[in-house]
Amino acid sequence: MIETILGLSFSFLSFLIVYGMLNKIKLFEKSINVIISFVISFFVLFAFFSSSFFIVAFFSISILFLLILFIVLSAYLFKKKKPL
């Protein structure tokens, strides 16, 4: 169950990122952006199910790293008294 939700979330995330980026660079029209994003998100969905463990492990480690970075940065900026 969790794996399915994760797969769908990854796919949706890739759609959001690709669509957002394509929209920003304004390379194609909006409808083409949507099609490209859909294709890539389907690709991500299938890729996720073929090697889910590595992706999940990678994501977990990255997010833990982000958390560590955030805490250390907060402490450092607290000392410097400068907003982020």
Partner 1 sequence: MKLKETMEVFGINTNELIFSIFLPFLLFYLILFVFLKRSNIFGDVGNTYYSLTALTISLISILSLYSLGLTRILPYLAVALTVLSFVAVYLFGVFKYSVNIAMRDERFKKLKEEIEKLSSEYEKEKDEKKKEEIKNRLKDKLSEIENIAKQFGLKIYEDWYKKAKEKVG
Exactly one of 35, 39, 63, 65 binds partner 1 (CB under 8 A); which one? 63
Does position 27 bind partner 1 by CB under 8 A? Answer: no
Please, what is the minimum distance in Å from the beta carbon of residue 12 to partner 1? Answer: 6
Does position 60 bind partner 1 by CB under 8 A? Answer: yes
> What kind and span of H or E run contains 32?
helix 30-50
Neighbours of 10 (CB within 10 A): 20
Extract the tokens encoding 70.
Answer: 């955030």
Q: Which is nearer to partner 1, 39 or 66 (CB)?
A: 66
Please, what is the minimum distance in Å from the beta carbon of residue 39 to partner 1? Answer: 19
Exactly one of 41, 56, 81, 82 binds partner 1 (CB under 8 A); which one? 56
Exposure string of 23-58, with b = 16+ CB inside 10 Å and e = fewer, is eeeeeeeeeebbebbeebbeebbeebeeeeeebeee
